[in-house]
């Protein structure tokens, strides 16, 4: 297991002009490394639905790489999405699953099957073009560029150290977000995509 932020720093190196979609705790880590915030979309408050949103965006804009940082708990709430993504075969979608074994955003409750579930195996069986289980940072660093450039859909399950958000932190983040939440991000992305179309 390794730090989510260390993994994200590697992704940022190869990100290019990809749209990055972030679920809950991934938003915090990605803010530390992103160089293109106008192409970043946080989807907090829609647990289990980020993969469906990412699929829709990937199909609507096949000219743009779409990178999703999903949570293991979030994905468990909508496992059927793996079949839908596999059926549609978006070549431009890279689906990360940050597997820390808990619901980090709501206090650290364990996910179902935290020690036995294999999201990569589920994706393979569903029909993803490629799926990987990554347990150490060196392995990821050595293979990241190749995995991120493959035709998708690609699922990359990374085993990370849990970073639990305490209730006080959650309240402070909501207060600080103000008008710069998802609606602001969608507006910024829309302007960016209109600019490059």
- Any idea what the CATH number is for the domain that residue 177 is in? 3.40.50.970
Structural domains in the chain (count): 1
Which residues have C-beta within 8 Å of that of residue 139, sequence separation ≥ 6? Answer: none
Helix, strand or coil, per DSSP, at residue 181: coil
Residue 156 corresponds to which tokens in the numbers above?
């990359």
Mean of pLDDT over the chain = 87
- 2: DSSP letter: B
Distance from chain centroid for Cα 154 = 12
Each residue of 70-99: pLDDT tens digit?
A: 999 989 999 999 999 999 999 999 999 999
Helix (H) or strand (E) holding 96: strand 93-99
Q: Which among 5, 23, 19, 13 is positioned nearest to 106, based on CA atoms?
A: 23
Question: What's residue 38's pLDDT?
Answer: 95
The pTM for the full model equals: 0.85
Structural domain span for residue 149: 4-196
pLDDT in tens, 124-157: 999 999 999 999 999 999 999 999 999 999 999 9
């Amino acid at each position: 297991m390794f730090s989510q932020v260390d993994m994200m720093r590697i992704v940022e190196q190869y990100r290019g002009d990809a749209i990055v979609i972030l679920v809950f705790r991934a938003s915090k880590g990605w803010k530390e490394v992103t160089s293109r915030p106008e192409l970043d979309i946080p989807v907090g408050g829609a647990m289990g639905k980020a993969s469906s949103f990412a699929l829709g965006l990937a199909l609507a804009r096949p000219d743009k790489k779409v990178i999703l940082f999903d949570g293991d708990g979030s994905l468990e709430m909508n496992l059927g999405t793996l079949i839908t993504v596999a059926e549609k075969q978006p070549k431009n979608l890279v689906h990360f699953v940050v597997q820390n074994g808990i619901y980090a955003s709501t206090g650290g409750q364990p996910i179902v099957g935290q020690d036995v579930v294999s999201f990569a195996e589920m994706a393979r069986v569903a029909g993803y073009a490629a799926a990987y289980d990554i347990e150490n940072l060196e392995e990821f660093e050595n293979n990241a560029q190749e995995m991120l450039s493959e035709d998708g859909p690609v699922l990359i399950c990374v085993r990370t150290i849990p970073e639990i958000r305490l209730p006080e932190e959650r309240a402070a983040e909501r207060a600080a977000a103000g008008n710069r939440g998802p609606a602001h991000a969608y507006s910024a992305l829309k302007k960016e995509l209109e600019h490059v179309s």
